[in-house]
Structure 1
Amino acid sequence: MHSLSALKSGQLIGEQGVKISCGLDVFPEELFTLADHLESLDLSGNQLSSLPEDFSRFKKLRILFLSDNRFQVLPSVLSECPELNMIGFKANQISRVPEGSLPEHIRWLILTDNKIESLPASIGQCSKLQKLMLAGNRLTTLPVEMKRCRNLELLRISANRLEVLPEWLVKLPKLSWLAFAGNPCVNHTVSDHTLAEIHWDELQLEDQLGEGASGIISKAYWQDNEGVAVKAFKGEVTSDGYPADEMAASMAAGKHDHLIEVLGRLTGHPEQKDGLLLSLIADDFNNLAGPPCLDSCTRDTYADDAAFSLIEVLNITGAIASAAAHLHEDGIAHGDLYGHNILINDDAHCLLGDFGAATLYKDMDASLSHAIERLEVRAFGCLMEELLQRINIDELATQTDIFAKLQHLEQHCLSEHIKQRPGFIEIHQCLVSLKSKLLAVHAMTDFQAFN
């Protein structure tokens, strides 16, 4: 974080990234002294409502964050910035996005939690758009021109007013991560009378384990000192949608070896918050990957030395395919099938978590349901691609056949023609077969070595 006084005194000359949050209600003209070098500008958490007409003087600006301000209209001057490809205006008061206000080369646009009722037809000209965050607005339709956004991979349109999910949308060739709960076009409620109700007073709360966009997770003890995780939802719209939809999907998911088990529904919270009791994850589990960074946009990040054996890849992909098949059989789209939402231990046992972007789509028509599953299959293909890029190189020389078959499956999952992608049941069966073949090879090798 930088200070306004440092900016005015010239201390920030030459900086490529600047972040200032101090209640600004007027854009500081001194920022133009940085125009020759500035690549990233974050003025979130201020009281700004407009940008200067000559804002395009920032010729090298790539990233702009103006979240938590007072903008009512997305500034049209943004389209004149030659390098600007990531824009964030979360939690403003934006009701209008003018035609031609978006840079045609934009990759990542965040307009979560505003008052937007419609998008401009000119968004169809944004051919490089990969990530679009629109949850928590007032959209009733999407412009058909968006079908030209053929590089769009991640879309958040939950918590809007969409009456119909357009068929052209789910057929976009690269769309992989879609959240659309909390709209009239889907039934986003679930009734599960078999789920236990657990009162707050039955719990002995311990340390906070973590905090996400939708809630706070804490360790607690319940019944015979059993350790559990308690997730208390915040009740606010998040970048993925309504926490109530996350809770509904978590409950509807049911039991599966590779899902985090929901033990019960929390009642009697002192602040009237909704919540769930979840099984406590052992300490030896860690995230498979890190979330996307500003440069990777839609792709997860991995440690520089990350490497996987073929058996590990088969364990991971087999587990996640099985979990995804279970979810889609019940009409649940995870919406965020990513390595950073997969927990893994040293034995390569996996758990798929985080239902913040999930949608219950069971009541949608058959053609849309088919397309929604195949859309998520592409996300699975991206996961396969990331893992296969990091295969232990020593195995490539000895297991070329199995590796080639995995690559073939990956390519089918990534097909730009949605009807050519397999379903998760077929994917799981293929992976089980390949794992059996690899284990047989290992057994034969061990036998020969022993003899």
Structure 2
Amino acid sequence: MTLSPAPDDTLAQLKAGKLQGAKHLKLSNQLTQFPPQIFELADSLEILDLSGNALTDLPSDLHRLKKLRILFCSNNQFTHLPEVLGQCESLSMIGFKANQIKHIPEQAIPTRTLRWFIVTDNALAAVPNALGECSKLQKLMLAGNQLSSLPASMANCHALELLRISANQFESLPDFLFDLPKLTWLAYAGNPFCNAIEQALISQLHIHPIDWQSLTLQHVLGEGASGVTYQALMQQENAQQLVAVKLFKSGLTSDGLPRCEMHANILVDEHPNLVGVKGVIHNHPQGVAGLVMPLLDADLKVLASPPSYQSCSRDVYAEDCRLTPQQAQLILQGVTQAAEHLHAHGLMHGDLYAHNILWGAEKVVLSDLGGASFLPLDKPQLTQKILKLEARALAILAEELAAVVSSSGDKTVQG
């Protein structure tokens, strides 16, 4: 049973004892204290979302919620991760994005059960050694902190598949990352060691400015972690054309810095299997950063949905998704060519997933460069290690495509 009334009603219903049996509870009411009535749901509650409040701590007996699997406390006022989390016997996903967290106690990590850990946009200078004991950890999101290293114990994170360390203070990539057997999706742009690489690549390019006044926004095409994309009409001299306009939400995204995403788009220029870019927005009245891109064919459809809470690191394909071998081959070849173009221009995509792939009868587009990272081309051995991760992502995509090829056809998909 999932209950999701209007936010103001939810707290009132909770206090009135009307949410018995609820598995999923979301409260966003500028709370400064944890409502004790939540404990009345201990026999059923699995997902608790307390994001968007003013909390600074959690009760020391939170572990009474024995079925709690997923906890979100983003956009609150925590300065530390509560130690009690380490005592929660079923907790597999923890999200404390956009707080003011400076310290994570070793005891706060539920090492036996943790699969997905999000502490993006905080003030961490270190993360605990206990992460290395998390044998089930698959996704670790640390972008937008003050980290300059990761604990050596993390060499034991053999299940880790996705790592975001963008917009931190790393002077180099930790060597052990490339020995992790399942690491596939890595984002590291916006760190000191690659800022110089980024600037060197971008300094050689012309960045075309597009005045905000020449754009008329029409309707929303899509929204992601980093921003909102609109269809818009662009006036240039005596001509008008339809374009896509992406406006970034803030100075930091779940993947890293908008600056890095904008530079990545400019760097790769045009390719038939990439979205492309027309220019960068200038003179926005609120100073919002944005990109102007070609408008893609409305018939293109997204290949799959992003990972669910259950799938964690794997995209979710519709149950009725069926491809012919030829369609699967078209998709894989298009994405491979897009990735090769990125690599040749000094970039790794870093988020090569089916949910970032648009496709139609004759066209395939790899989108979203939010997780793209600049390759250390002056260090060819390191570059090759990084690109092996992208090869792993392509191999996973090939496996997924093969799994949705119509049973009547040949399931062989050549990478």
TM-score by length of 2: 0.93
Task: Please give the per-residue CA displacement for 1:363-393, whole angstroms capped at 9, x wherever unaligned.
Answer: 4522210011110111111111111111111
Task: Please give the per-residue CA displacement for 1:55-113, whole angstroms capped at 9, x wherever unaligned.
Answer: 11111111111111111111111111111101111111110011132111200011011
CA gap of 1:256–1:19, structure 2 versus 1, over 3 A, is: same
| Among candidates 288, 308, 321, match of residue 293 of structure 1 | 308
User: Gaps (5+ residues) in structure 1?
Assistant: 410-430, 432-451
Determine the structure 2 residue equivalent to 1:81.
88
Task: Please give the per-residue CA displacement for 1:153-207, whole angstroms capped at 9, x wherever unaligned.
Answer: 1111111111110121133111111111110121333225434322223334333
Determine the structure 2 residue equivalent to 1:47.
54
2:205–2:267: 8 Å Cα contact kept in structure 1? no
Q: How does 1:283-432 map to 2 (within 5 A)?
A: 283-345=298-360, 347-363=361-377, 365-396=379-410, 403=412, 406=413, 431=415
| Distance in 2 between residues matched to 1:81 and 1:176, nearest whole Å | 29
Bigger shift: 100-109 or 185-194? 185-194
Q: How does 1:85-100 map to 2 (within 5 A)?
A: 85-100=92-107
Determine the structure 2 residue equivalent to 1:412.
none
| Distance in 2 between residues matched to 1:274 and 1:68, nearest whole Å | 22
Bigger shift: 184-193 or 333-342? 184-193
Determine the structure 2 residue equivalent to 1:448.
none
| Distance in 1 between residues matched to 2:28 and 2:257, nearest whole Å | 27
| Distance in 1 between residues matched to 2:208 and 2:131, nearest whole Å | 46
| Distance in 1 between residues matched to 2:406 and 2:400, nearest whole Å | 13
Determine the structure 1 residue equivalent to 2:45.
38
Determine the structure 2 residue equivalent to 1:419.
none
1:361–1:369: 8 Å Cα contact kept in structure 2? yes
Determine the structure 1 residue equivalent to 2:198.
188
Task: Please give the per-residue CA displacement for 1:257-309, whole angstroms capped at 9, x wherever unaligned.
Answer: 10012112222222222322211111111111111111111111111110111
| Distance in 1 between residues matched to 2:23 and 2:41, nearest whole Å | 8
| Distance in 1 between residues matched to 2:96 and 2:363, nearest whole Å | 39
- CA-based RMSD: 1.6
| Identity, % of aligned positions | 46
| Distance in 2 between residues matched to 1:203 and 1:60, nearest whole Å | 50
| Distance in 1 between residues matched to 2:235 and 2:367, nearest whole Å | 22
| Distance in 2 between residues matched to 1:364 and 1:164, nearest whole Å | 13
CA gap of 1:73–1:205, structure 2 versus 1, over 3 A, is: closer
TM-score by length of 1: 0.86
| Distance in 2 between residues matched to 1:296 and 1:192, nearest whole Å | 42
| Among candidates 11, 15, 32, match of residue 8 of structure 1 | 15
| Distance in 1 between residues matched to 2:308 and 2:204, nearest whole Å | 38
> Are positions 1:164 and 2:178 aligned together?
no
Aligned residues: 400
3-state SS, counterpart of residue 320 of structure 2: coil
Determine the structure 2 residue equivalent to 1:221.
234
CA gap of 1:24–1:273, structure 2 versus 1, over 3 A, is: closer
| Distance in 1 between residues matched to 2:162 and 2:381, nearest whole Å | 21
> Are positions 1:207 and 2:222 aligned together?
no
| Distance in 2 between residues matched to 1:310 and 1:138, nearest whole Å | 47
| Distance in 1 between residues matched to 2:340 and 2:14, nearest whole Å | 54
Task: Please give the per-residue CA displacement for 1:30-52, whole angstroms capped at 9, x wherever unaligned.
Answer: 11111121111111111111111
3-state SS, counterpart of residue 404 of structure 2: coil
The runs of 4+ residues in structure 1 deviating greater than 4 Å are: none
**Equivalent position amino acid for 1:106 in 2:** L
3-state SS, counterpart of residue 100 of structure 1: helix
